[in-house]
Structure 1
Amino acid sequence: MSILVTGATGNTGRHVVAELLRRGHSVRALTRDPERAAAVLPAGADVVTGSHTEPDTLDAVLAGVTGLHITVTSGVAATGPELVRRAVAAGVERITILWGGHVGPAETAVVESGVAWTRLEPQEFMCNTLGWADSIRAAGVVREPFDFPSAVVHEADLGAVAAMALTEDGHAGRAYNLSGPRALTVRQRVAMLAEAIGREITFEQMTRQQAIDRLTATGVSLADAEYVVGWHADPPASARTPDGVLEQVLGRPPRTFEEWLTEHKDRF
């Protein structure tokens, strides 16, 4: 089975690639940055340069592919339907889609594609913690506008579910809410991180507007920044409470935040 993974060098895509390779499948890893691929992807992936936001350039990449993993980003909201159309025309038989937080045009196109599909609906990734690294190293501080509990999920667990859905039966037509084993507030995660790295870290609450301004300063669009901050202002119940879906799908407990910290503490 040959599978195309979009966003292959991203925080989640790299885990989809790794798990598919571990299972013995052929993987085409689509990325805008092939040099980054050499640093973050395991050996064996066929790295191809391109973007899933430019589907009219991907016909050759899609040729011979039987499975497709799509990561929805802001650009894919507009181009996703065309990507799906071209994928189906090329003979793709299974699609997994990592949603963008709601069912938009790309997610709808996948459902209406006529091929086997699985939608992955994580609420918040553990790797979002890496966004604190610079301020921790510089000042020993984490600044966030809210402190609600969130059942953060390990991105490697998402990779495992995506690989299963792309290569095994029993997942077609399913939308999986993916949560970690425990809901943790920002303060709790900060305390656990401080213990893991052996350094005092202070939590400072910022305003909603400051959080929006921080995101737009990094190049995030105002609409996306408002959406992200708005989500954190009132997380859905599915984000606040572990529901056991991940364990049911994988047949094992989800990875813990403590495990994630052990793997990434050197980044802080």
Structure 2
Amino acid sequence: MTKILVTGATGNVGRELTRQLPPGGFRSLSRQSWTILRANTIASNARGWATQIRSTGVVRGPGIPATAVVHERDIAAVATRALTSADLAGQRLVLTGPTVVSRAEQVAALGTVLGRELRFEPVAAGDARTRMLADGRPAALVEALLANVGRPPSTLITATIEEVTGQPARSFGDWAAEHGDEFRQSPEPRCGPSVAGCTKGG
């Protein structure tokens, strides 16, 4: 059976991989091989900002250096290729997005999609840990993110995703456009007989 190790990944990659596998999924594979996919910052990590964006429009977090953020669908596409062919057997692949983006730029991209002015505000690591845990991020992910504080920005951009899939890597802007609804403020409830606590305007 083919074994895939994706470093830096989250459950979102696994869900995308399940969607992209052919009928039969893992059961259709019988080869004994391995492929290692290495990704740094994954776009879906931005979901942890949703509460702050909806409530205040200010994302407070650690000053993590800029990286070429990678879309989880691209990671899943490469993993699917590794699982369904022998082309990538025994390889260690580094996956990145097409451009290096800072956290402030990621927040701004979400603001563009939402039509709101959003901003990123760096805070001390201890405060950031408390905030991220309160937002529901797994403790292991929080510590992994904080381990990057103080490191220089990464300039690494690879063409691996396009070379493997034949499609250019998706940008963080693409991810933001796809997932904007997850960051939108809930609409005010319409008043009616079945809506509790609703007050009609005068």
Instruction: Mark the structure with the bigger radius of gyration.
Output: 2
* 1:188 equivalent in alignment to 2:189: no
TM-score of the aligned structures, taking structure 2 as reference length: 0.77
C-alpha change, 1:232 and 1:168, in structure 2 (3 Å) is farther
C-alpha change, 1:17 and 1:224, in structure 2 (3 Å) is closer
1:194-209 alignment runs, 5 A limit: 194-209=111-126
C-alpha contact 2:64 2:151 (8 A) present in aligned 1: no
* 1:13 equivalent in alignment to 2:11: no
CA deviation after TM superposition for structure 1 residue 214, in Å: 3.1
Higher RCO (C-alpha 8 Å, min separation 6): 2
C-alpha change, 1:225 and 1:187, in structure 2 (3 Å) is closer
C-alpha contact 1:147 1:187 (8 A) present in aligned 2: no
1:42-53 alignment runs, 5 A limit: none
* 1:27 equivalent in alignment to 2:25: yes
- What is the aligned partner in structure 1 of residue 164 from structure 2? 249
Query: Take 1:26 and 1:146, find their aligned partners in 2: how far apart are those partners?
Result: 43
Over the residues paired in the alignment, what is the CA RMSD in angstroms?
2.7
- What is the aligned partner in structure 1 of residue 147 from structure 2? 230
CA deviation after TM superposition for structure 1 residue 220, in Å: 4.0
- The structure where strand makes up a greater share of residues is 1
Query: Take 1:150 and 1:141, find their aligned partners in 2: how far apart are those partners?
Result: 21
C-alpha change, 1:248 and 1:197, in structure 2 (3 Å) is same
Query: 1:8-53, CA deviations, whole angstroms, 9 ceiling, x for partnerless residues?
Result: x931111101111xxx33136xxxxxxxxxxxxxxxxxxxxxxxxx
Query: Take 2:173 and 2:149, find their aligned partners in 1: how far apart are those partners?
Result: 22
- Gaps in structure 1 of 5+ consecutive residues: 4-8, 29-64, 68-91, 94-114
* 1:163 equivalent in alignment to 2:77: no
Aligned mate of 1:151, from 68, 91, 113 = 68
Identity %: 37
- Gaps in structure 2 of 5+ consecutive residues: 4-9, 184-202
* Equivalenced residues, count: 177
C-alpha contact 2:48 2:132 (8 A) present in aligned 1: no
C-alpha change, 1:141 and 1:236, in structure 2 (3 Å) is closer
TM-score of the aligned structures, taking structure 1 as reference length: 0.59
CA deviation after TM superposition for structure 1 residue 226, in Å: 3.3
- The structure where helix makes up a greater share of residues is 1
